[in-house]
Structure 1
Amino acid sequence: MSFRTTSRTTFRNTTFRSTTPADLDRVLSCTVDEPVSWADPERYRGMLESGAYRPEHTWIAEDDEGRLLARAVWWTFPEGDRPLALDCVWTAPGAEDRTALAAGLLAAAHDSFRTAGWELPEWHLFLAPDWREDPAVSAALAWRREAAARSSLGGSLERYRYAWTPGAPVPAASGRLVFTAEPDDEVFVELFRRTAEGSIDDDTVRGLARLGEEGQARETLEAYLQMPGERSWWLTAHTPEGEPVGFALPSANQGGPVVGFLGVLPAMRGRGYVDELLGEITRFHAARGAERIGADTDADNLPMAAAFDRAGYHRFGVRLVLTTG
């Protein structure tokens, strides 16, 4: 489904609306000079061309004279139908109350998303590992987090960002597991469902609370099917004796190869199999000539973070995720 609002919500002589192609030059004129991630003109044009950014998923605030006051940009899968993450919020220099302005813009967009039957997208902010030590970053985040909280995004979590590059070693196969391509989506639905038990991954935990076991597993399947990585890359993992252990999903996003998703069945945890799964994904991408393999994990997911360290991935940043809680 494609959705574009035709209504206009007014807040203190300010109009909030989704954009049209005719607004492109105005959308590209927004420049963020604070030390936070943002959708610069080059990124916006590229993502617009791919379908990851769309006019109907970009919102602006205007005053009564049509002057641009604020902009918000949401991202989606190119084949998707709804916004999945907020990438950037900009307010015009000298805005009287940028927090209230941004909150009003986000609230208007969120109302339209709810009307369309969509879940509210998270807001992803990409930061340096030591961001807490930089007062300028703290200041840039303060008003953004307050605006998010006023518009139903009061929760937050941190995810560590990792990367493997060819300068790091490729983990050697130990022979402890046998990996097999599996074309049946239902096999992975069952694996996603079973490995969600006892998970400490925040997305998984919240998905279970929102959708239940089956719903969470099927939503996970659909999300990974929409990623640019090939479906044929997905692997199940067994012991040499044929006992199921889990799965490894090498994948890709618009920036290139990523670890994707891996899981160990509850009965098989505590045996070091996470290293085998991550190693297989790394070997898979490295064999295809990957210059970089990206990955994220929750800051609280200490076992997964330790696995990345052991596999030669380096932590280069933080993804701060503002959520509905």
Structure 2
Amino acid sequence: MTTQHHTDLTLRPITGPDELDLFNSLPYVLNKEIAKDLAEGRRRPEWLWLALRGDRLVARAAWWSRPNDEHPLVLDILDIVDNTDDGVRLLSAALPTVVPAGATPPEYTRFVPPDWRDDNTSRRIVQDRMEVLERTGAKLFVERLRLEWRPGTPIPEPTGRLVFRPVREPGELVDLMTLVMDGSLDAHSRDELTRMSARQAAEEQYQTELLRYPSPRDWWRIATLPDGEPVGFVIPAHNGYNPIIAYIGVVPAHRGHGYIDEVLAAGTRLLAEQDVPWIRAATDVGNVPMAKAFARAGYVTFERQIDMTWS
């Protein structure tokens, strides 16, 4: 086990599940998932780090992966009690042991209140965390809206302009995902296109994200015109935590006709028919057309999400 002492600060990973109560003594919405994540291989004890002053927890950090991935995919917990220096020391000690030598650290992502800028306490907490990340070399990548549809919210009836059918074979969906990349307002998609082709990005997302959802693939829907010409698609799914609209898009040739509302309604309806407690979705703050489509469909912003990256 790696343990580092900085003056009166002890920096180390947890010794095992018996220290989860200590780790979870700082509040965050993800706390309730950590034990299950450990049991199912999405987290490891050596990825959950503590900064202790005596026996008092003053900062913590944790990484997450898909089940049994060799390396973590995201830094999704970072909390500091009252001193940003504690957070900087903690990350500086943990990163070299968690991240493979020479690799770029995984993205940091954090759920924050939807009005965090308007509340002095929330703003200070968010900015303190961002300062810790910036001092270790990260920078703001994107801010996202986290959205929720709740049962009882009306779902528009089909207009008949579009026909929805299951995906016939993987190549069909990857073809449409490739087309949707063109003109995308999604920051992650735009970033991927600086490093790879649209086809490569679509295939990677299909393999590493869509295929890993535990929900049935026959939920996935292709939207076509009545003559069968594809217009777009929607991927309703369950990510192991929540029912979600995982991916949605309209191909460039059919944008501007309001089809996105019908595609989103179809995905929402399919999940609502599973008697789910809610449906979650997310989109970049800068993706105004998609944010407006979710708002028209009755999705409410219940949180925001801050994503930061190391270059």
Range class of TM-score, shorter chain: 0.7 to 0.9
Cα deviation for residue 47 of structure 1 reads: 2.7
Question: Is 2:206 the partner of 1:217?
Answer: no
Cα deviation for residue 294 of structure 1 reads: 0.8
User: What are the Cα deviations for residues 138-188 of structure 1, in whole angstroms up to 9, with x where unaligned?
Assistant: 221222111111223212422112111122112211121222212522222
Q: How many pairs are equivalent? A: 309
With 77-86 and 293-302 compared, the bigger mean Cα shift is at 77-86
Alignment partners' CA distance in 1, 2:123 and 2:273:
41
Structure 2 counterparts to residues 166-315 of structure 1, below 5 A: 166-221=151-206, 222-315=208-301
8 Å contact 2:113–2:122 — kept in the other structure?
Answer: no
Question: Is 2:26 the partner of 1:32?
Answer: yes
Partner of 1:3: none
Cα distance 1:7–1:26, how it changes in 2: closer, same or farther (>3 A)? closer
Partner of 1:60: 50
User: What are the Cα deviations for residues 236-286 of structure 1, in whole angstroms up to 9, with x where unaligned?
Assistant: 221111212121111112332111101111111111111111011011011
Cα distance 1:293–1:191, how it changes in 2: closer, same or farther (>3 A)? same
Question: Is 2:306 the partner of 1:320?
Answer: yes
Partner of 1:115: 100
Partner of 1:46: 36
8 Å contact 2:112–2:126 — kept in the other structure?
Answer: no
Alignment partners' CA distance in 2, 1:116 and 1:228:
32
Query: Which amino acid counterpart does residue 151 of structure 1 have in structure 2?
Result: T
What secondary structure is seen at the aligned counterpart in 2 of 1:133? coil
Cα deviation for residue 73 of structure 1 reads: 1.1
Query: Which amino acid counterpart does residue 76 of structure 1 have in structure 2?
Result: S
Partner of 1:74: 63
What secondary structure is seen at the aligned counterpart in 2 of 1:168? coil
Partner of 2:147: 162
8 Å contact 2:26–2:79 — kept in the other structure?
Answer: yes
Alignment partners' CA distance in 1, 2:270 and 2:228:
22
Partner of 1:104: 89
* Unmatched segments (≥5 aa) in structure 2: none
Alignment partners' CA distance in 1, 2:260 and 2:30:
35
* Unmatched segments (≥5 aa) in structure 1: 1-5
Cα distance 1:186–1:117, how it changes in 2: closer, same or farther (>3 A)? farther
User: What are the Cα deviations for residues 48-98 of structure 1, in whole angstroms up to 9, with x where unaligned?
Assistant: 2333332132233468x898664211122235443222222234x57xxx3
8 Å contact 1:38–1:89 — kept in the other structure?
Answer: no
What secondary structure is seen at the aligned counterpart in 2 of 1:29? helix
What secondary structure is seen at the aligned counterpart in 1 of 2:195? helix
Partner of 1:132: 117
Question: Is 2:79 the partner of 1:90?
Answer: yes
Alignment partners' CA distance in 1, 2:146 and 2:294:
10
Query: Which amino acid counterpart does residue 170 of structure 1 have in structure 2?
Result: I
8 Å contact 2:140–2:306 — kept in the other structure?
Answer: no
Supply the RMSD in Å over aligned alpha carbons: 2.7
8 Å contact 1:129–1:316 — kept in the other structure?
Answer: yes
Relative to the length of structure 1, the TM-score reads 0.84
8 Å contact 1:259–1:293 — kept in the other structure?
Answer: yes
Alignment partners' CA distance in 2, 1:234 and 1:284:
9
Cα distance 1:287–1:67, how it changes in 2: closer, same or farther (>3 A)? closer
Query: Which amino acid counterpart does residue 265 of structure 2 have in structure 1?
Result: G
Alignment partners' CA distance in 2, 1:309 and 1:260:
17
Query: Which amino acid counterpart does residue 50 of structure 2 have in structure 1?
Result: I
Query: Which amino acid counterpart does residue 285 of structure 1 have in structure 2?
Result: L
8 Å contact 2:20–2:35 — kept in the other structure?
Answer: no
Identity %: 35
